[in-house]
Structure 1
């Protein structure tokens, strides 16, 4: 492995291109949130432990492991490093004295609103909610459950996933031999877990449950968002159902709800959101982004995030490529 000094130097080089991470949050003259590109840098903490790596690996999920995550309390730096972005890959290349290619794209004009704006969808109640709800939502709401979180890691075999996908996919098309396009492994697995978790919770049949699913707009927008774009392009899909319908109907019912909800978050929806966020949300003082409110998804609902396309296998700080498994992350509180 490279020395700490080499990794620190690589971080300095990476931050020279990803300058947003080295900046600070603030407000412009209009009071809008901005990032000041002031190159104040990030905190670099060295840690050591007196044991061999094979004595600790594999690290089993536990509340103790969660406490190793950096705290966000009173932190002014913008970057809290976790294995979730191309920045990590660039950092690894810089630590090995390689060129950081491709370089990040910082151009935000690719998300400029249309002229005239077109609000095709209702974004109140989805991406934006009343500021009153934010006041009723304690700042430490999610933090209060940290000690109650149960971390459970499940491994599904390829054979199980293959059979699950076949069971969840739609039947033949109107009696013809041609088959409808099968649902994805992601949609099939989420449908299965949604039903299983809902059943285990013993909820009332007339209660409504939904799944909050993050949807990446990079491949959905037209024109497509460049791979080099350095920033966020995520909205959410909310498939929902009454508990009795979800449990009474077969697996394809849940898979269809998930598939259709995700499909609706398309190019038109993203463009409508950009127009609304630019022209409406900033003028309506009672609206705030739900991303600032929904810090924890509670029963009877779920949140699911997919890490299937993160470039884990490209991450190399000089000790060879990281061996990493695929992840599907569920968040819930009973």
Structure 2
């Protein structure tokens, strides 16, 4: 059976409802922003069940969402801009031009499929990739395309609101702050906290950082994902409490407390290493995203808008990871996180400034590597657009590879976690039969 096809109904561009004096400016890209130029846009969105048929429902909803977006962009005005650059013979600097732009893109589309067609299969259907704009675009493409697109896709019995946001302008914290504000504006409750657009630079640098390149192919690569299966595994509150208690009971150092997130990450790391069949001496690594806002001294506000995230890498050999118990793996992750402080952040930035080379997605393609991104702490299911609570959180093609794990707020709330795991189909089949992984999913286990 062939996959249904998305039909685009309309598109337009939305500008901020008003421009303050601050928004009539350029915003330079900082270190963590520039490091993301070769990555894809952020693509995440929410699936809702459509209410019973109402007269002019679609037209009323779309206009209300456009109005809410315009109000939201008055505060998150970089998302209505475009990337621009200053070039000389040896280097260039990038910034966001907040004025000379048609605005954020808004797309209305439809597809002949149901909510059940999306949620019932074990693996996320490929049609979901069409629920987002900027397919396969890298952030550097923001020179010529919108930095934000809101795409509303009508299903037979549902509505999907998908946002694609340039990852050189926003990280996950900024993305969900924007989405939460869009929801509040839709409901008429307005902005509760203002985003902060002043970029952070290490002492002696900024506001414009030059990149030592003269051609795009010196720092931009375009990653094509292999054939992957993506499955969303649900870890209930009971599952996570049991996993956390078990891990801390094994921990000999009573001064250390392993969190639920660290325990779950350790299980996923161990299970993926096992089912991949690595040799004993092969290096395996677990990369976790760390929000630097609360690690810098002085602290940055949680409303800091831009990239302030860093990947922390914990590595060992496959034999050490699997021959030791779960507590040992969780403790390695815990130590990496605890040691990541102001000094560590600044040393990492200083190292990057020596080359100023953007990170390259999928390079090198390490069969022993897993990357855990996003955060179940983000407010995802609290967004409301007149349909009640979302029934699912889904993401697009962007930034996926074998071993990518994306963590979402669990649909049942209360601290539950949904983990979207992307794997080679053969490895996915092995993970689905792994005893340790199945035990972690089974809250009735002793």
Shorter-chain-normalised TM-score: which range?
0.7 to 0.9
Aligned in 2, Cα 1:313/1:41: closer, same or farther, shift over 3 Å? same
Distance 2:386 2:346 in 1: 41
- Give 1:49 deviation, angstroms: 4.5
The Cα offsets for residues 134-171 of structure 1, whole Å up to 9 and x where unpaired, read as: 97999343x241xx111122122333322322332265
Residue equivalent to 2:129: 66
Q: Which moved more, 1:228-237 or 1:99-108?
A: 99-108
- 1:113 and 2:174 matched: no
Query: Could you list the runs of 5+ residues in structure 1 that have no partner in the other structure?
Result: 117-129
Q: Which residue of 2 aligns with 1:268?
A: 343
CA distance in 2 between partners of 1:136 and 1:254 (Å): 38
Partner of 2:271: 196
- Which of 180, 192, 199 is the equivalent residue of 2:255? 180
Aligned with residue 290 of structure 2, among 215, 223, 226: 215
Residue 23 (structure 1) aligns with:
81
Deviations 1:153-209 (A, max 9, x none): 2122333322322332265767xxxx3332011111111111111111111111101
Counterparts of 1:1-334 in structure 2, within 5 Å, are 3-28=61-86, 31-38=92-99, 39-49=101-111, 55-56=116-117, 58=119, 60=121, 61-70=124-133, 71-73=135-137, 76-80=145-149, 81=163, 84-108=175-199, 111-114=200-203, 139-141=221-223, 143-145=224-226, 148-169=227-248, 171=250, 179-277=254-352, 280-281=353-354, 284=355, 287-290=356-359, 292-294=360-362, 298-322=366-390, 325=411, 326-333=417-424
| Contact map agreement 1:299 1:332 (CA 8 A) in 2 | no
Q: CA deviation at 1:296?
A: 8.3
Q: Secondary structure at the match of 2:232?
A: coil
Contact persistence 2:176–2:379 (CA under 8 A):
yes
Q: CA RMSD in A?
A: 3.2
- 8 Å contact kept, 1:306–1:328: no
CA gap 1:50/1:240 in 2 versus in 1, 3 angstroms: closer
**Cα distance, 1:18 vs. partner?**
0.9
Would the aligned equivalents of 1:304 and 1:328 in 2 still touch at CA under 8 Å?
A: no
Distance 1:135 1:54 in 2: 41
* Range that drifts further, 210-219 or 222-231: 222-231
Instruction: Supply the distance in 2 between the matched residues of 1:261 and 1:299 (Cα, whole angstroms).
Output: 21
2:9 aligns with none
Change (3 A) 1:55 1:211: closer
Instruction: Please report how far the alpha carbon of residue 58 of structure 1 lies from its aligned counterpart in structure 2 after TM superposition.
Output: 3.5
Aligned residue pairs total 302
Kindly indicate whether the alpha-carbon contact (under 8 Å) linking 1:297 and 1:332 is maintained by their aligned counterparts in 2: no
Q: 1:192 to 1:144 in 2, by over 3 A?
A: closer
Offset at residue 222 of structure 1 (A) = 2.5
Deviations 1:38-62 (A, max 9, x none): 24202111123467x6655636523
Question: SS at 1:257's partner residue?
Answer: helix
Which residues of structure 2 form unaligned runs of 5+? 1-56, 150-162, 165-171, 206-211, 393-410, 412-416, 428-446
**Larger deviation, residues 237-246 vs 25-34:** 25-34
Distance 1:197 1:136 in 2: 34
More strand by proportion, 1 or 2?
2
Structure-2-length-normalised TM-score: 0.60
- 8 Å CA contact 1:183–1:255 kept in 2: the answer is yes
